[in-house]
Amino acid sequence: MDHKGLLREGVFGWVWAADCDYRPRDFEIEVHNRLDEEHYTKTLLHELWHVYQHVKGALRDKHGKRLWKGIDHSETDYEDQPWEQQAHHMEDVLYEEYLNLPKPRVFPNRLIKQ
């Protein structure tokens, strides 16, 4: 499994299962380290939403196929992939919630200038 967190400007984030493909519980996320706070946060939220999709079982990788709610989407183009559409929507929703957190919004990222 290998997701690319494509935003308009390019690939900013990745998530993959570190343990197994079918019912993964151990994930690794990479986020580009030269993003501003908004892009960094949205990218991380986007990748975390993919973790949620996997843990909930909506998104599965089985025998080299990618299944969304049991339907094979291995051949579906990136922009049409339902898990990507959902994750792109949720990164905005969750980012709005993040902005509404009381300040200071502590976000543990040493790469972001405070």
* Binding stretches for Zn ion (CB under 5 A): 3, 5, 84, 87
Is the peptide bond between 104 and the residue preceding it cis, with omega within 30 degrees of 0?
yes
Within the chain, residue ranges assigned H as helices are: 37-56, 82-99
Least distance to Zn ion from the beta carbon of 53, Å?
A: 9
Query: CB 113 → Zn ion: shortest distance, Å?
Result: 26
Find the shortest distance in angstroms from Cβ 99 to Zn ion: 21
Listed residue (55, 50, 54, 57) closest to 84, CA to CA: 50
Q: Which is nearer to Zn ion, 3 or 54 (CB)?
A: 3
11 versus 101: smaller Cβ distance to Zn ion: 11
